[in-house]
Amino acid sequence: MPARWGLASGLQRRLLLLLLAPLAVLAVLNTWFDFRSADGAALQQDRQLLTLVPLLAGSVVARGTTEADPPVMLTAPPIEDFLNARPGLSAFALVGKEGSVLLGDTWLSGMPPATFDPEFSSQEFDGVTYRIVSQRMNTVAGELVLRLADGSDPRQQWLRQLWFKVALPNFVLVVAAFFAVNLAVHRALRPLLELKEAVERRSPRDLSALDARGSPEEVRPLVESLNRLFDLVNAQAEGQRRFVADAAHQLRTPLAALQAQVEAWAQAVSSTAQLTDPDRVYREKNDPALVDIEHTAITLEAGQVFKLRQAVRRTSALANQLLALSRADARSADTQPMQRVDLQELCESMLETHLDAATAKDIDLGLEADEAHTSGHTWLLRELLGNLVDNAIRYTQRGGRVTLRCGWCAAPGGGQQTFLEVEDNGPGVPESERARMLERFYRVPGTVGEGTGLGLAIADEIARVHHSQLQVLPGRDGYGLRMRVDLPT
């Protein structure tokens, strides 16, 4: 998952921020406008209460019969309508100068205003927040404080129900918008993610063009630029491969002729050295000094010839391996159709081919082969197996053991697949060096013997042509190496 979201995470965060930030601002503005609307309605209600105060004063028609009796009141129709329209949410009181309630709801008691100007306040009673207007006025019953309370004040109700009516809906809206926008952004970025995955899944040797038609218009220029880059790199790699192939091919003929001449020269020098008898020469020439000089010259000449022969052999082998590497290139091999390959027969032929070399080093070259077939290029698989067997024989100590194997094994995704394997009980390779063994022209430090460092690179290239890879594993008994290639059927 991190790999999948790595490319789009920055864009996704930016898009979410750019889309959700305005939405959050709109939610805040909506809350503010709701409050302003409630505030405007509350101001309107304050004005209504203020217009009812004189009517409440006019409803007082007489004093009480005694000072302890409340004033006589005949409620005006607007006051009656106000009280009846808000049952349980409205109240009134006639309050004396001392703050006691003479008539009305007793909870509206309190000290009278200091002036005759109306005063507004808010008070909570019985779980309801009331908007209260208080004003001192002269009435028929004398100077009284008239109070009207309205519990339906929208501003007070808005503050009391802020979470349930404003904050909670806006919060739910923002959360729902987050998931909706996140899903929309993910779906919008899917083509970019698919392009990223397509590039990640590619082998470094796969330089074929990407499908630009399946990409969105915004991404298409990027895909086309990548395709142009792939074409340039592919052309350069193809030119280098063609040059190596042509150079190796042109070198093979003169190197073969040179090797034939050097081999003949080495054989002649060897025969001369064997036929040279110092005692015979001394008897013939009766000159010990001349005998030593002649024998030394022949020995030096033989050593130089043998060194030259080894150099020519290495150069010829290098040219052949360069040509094989060029032929094993994935881009050139893909143009040729695959065929059914008998792996058991292939291992048997490799055993016969390398039997003399193994016998010369007293190496036990064995075969463990089951009947198995795969689809591939016979000549490439022969080159792969030949390089592996040659490497095993070359670097295994005298008297060692090399085993060729082929057969069936379990595939990672289920089912069966075939495999090729070459195992030896040689000195082995440190685990830290195994990955670099497949690099071209790389030789493990301290390696004894001749080599160019191309054999395993060629084998790995051939394995990639067959949609696999060369595995460098330790020997089954803890000694040596096991080179394995799993081949899909």
Cα(462)–Cα(438) distance, integer angstroms: 12
3: confidence class by pLDDT, cuts 50, 70, 90: very low
Q: Across residues 74-97, what is the average pLDDT?
A: 85
Q: What is residue 246's predicted lDDT score, i.e. its pLDDT?
A: 57
37-51, 134-148, 291-305, 441-455: least confidently modelled range: 291-305
Q: Between 64 and 257, where is the model more confident?
A: 64
Q: What is residue 228's predicted lDDT score, i.e. its pLDDT?
A: 85
Q: Is 281 in the same domain as 423?
A: no
Q: Across residues 365-384, what is the average pLDDT?
A: 89
31-35, 228-232, 370-374, 407-411: least confidently modelled range: 31-35
The reply to whether 85 falls in a domain is yes
4: confidence class by pLDDT, cuts 50, 70, 90: very low
Query: If we measure between CA atoms, which residue out of 226, 206, 79 comes closest to residue 149?
Result: 79
Q: Is 43 in the same domain as 113?
A: yes
The reply to whether 177 falls in a domain is no
Q: Is 419 in the same domain as 282?
A: no
CA quadruple 163, 164, 166, 169: dihedral sign: positive
Q: What is the CATH number of the domain that holds 351?
A: 3.30.565.10
pLDDT at 240 over 50: yes
pLDDT at 403 over 90: yes
Straight-line distance from the first to the last Cα atom of the chain, in angstroms, rounded to the nearest whole number: 30
Question: What are the backbone dihedrals phi and psi of residue 328, each rounded to the nearest 5 degrees, phi first?
Answer: -85, -5
445: confidence class by pLDDT, cuts 50, 70, 90: low
Is-contact 405 423, C-beta < 8 A?
yes
The reply to whether 325 falls in a domain is no
Q: Is 373 in the same domain as 427?
A: yes
122: confidence class by pLDDT, cuts 50, 70, 90: confident
The reply to whether 172 falls in a domain is no
The reply to whether 117 falls in a domain is yes
pLDDT at 300 over 60: no
Q: Is 159 in the same domain as 14?
A: yes
Q: What is residue 281's predicted lDDT score, i.e. its pLDDT?
A: 47
- Out of 163, 183, 202, pick the residue that ends a domain: 163
Q: Is 83 in the same domain as 147?
A: yes
2: confidence class by pLDDT, cuts 50, 70, 90: very low
Q: Is 35 in the same domain as 80?
A: yes
Task: Find tokens 């404080």 and name the residue.
Answer: 145
Split into its structural domains, the chain has a count of 3
Q: Between 77 and 64, where is the model more confident?
A: 77
Q: Between 281 and 350, where is the model more confident?
A: 350
Query: If we measure between CA atoms, which residue out of 323, 437, 420 comes closest to residue 376?
Result: 420
Is-contact 278 291, C-beta < 8 A?
yes
The reply to whether 236 falls in a domain is no
The reply to whether 150 falls in a domain is yes
Is-contact 437 300, C-beta < 8 A?
no
Domain ranges, residue 456 = 335-487
For residue 193, with 0-12 CB atoms within 10 Å meaning exposed, 13-18 middle and 19 or more buried, which class applies? middle
pLDDT at 346 over 90: yes
Cα(56)–Cα(58) distance, integer angstroms: 5
Cα(150)–Cα(81) distance, integer angstroms: 13
Alpha helices in 92-167 (DSSP H): 154-160, 162
Q: Across residues 88-104, what is the average pLDDT?
A: 85
Q: Is 314 in the same domain as 343?
A: no
Q: Is 253 in the same domain as 368?
A: no
Q: What is residue 367's predicted lDDT score, i.e. its pLDDT?
A: 93
348: confidence class by pLDDT, cuts 50, 70, 90: very high
Cα(236)–Cα(331) distance, integer angstroms: 13
Q: Between 40 and 111, where is the model more confident?
A: 111
Q: Is 99 in the same domain as 54?
A: yes
pLDDT at 293 over 50: no
- Out of 140, 163, 186, pick the residue that ends a domain: 163
pLDDT at 256 over 70: no
Name the pTM for this structure: 0.44
Q: Between 172 and 470, where is the model more confident?
A: 470
The reply to whether 191 falls in a domain is no
- Out of 163, 190, 218, pick the residue that ends a domain: 163
Indicate the average pLDDT of the chain. Answer: 75
Q: Is 295 in the same domain as 349?
A: no
Q: What is residue 451's predicted lDDT score, i.e. its pLDDT?
A: 58
Residue 17 DSSP one-character state = H
Percent of the chain with pLDDT over 90: 11
Q: Across residues 110-129, what is the average pLDDT?
A: 84
Q: Is 302 in the same domain as 372?
A: no
The H or E element containing residue 380 is helix 378-395
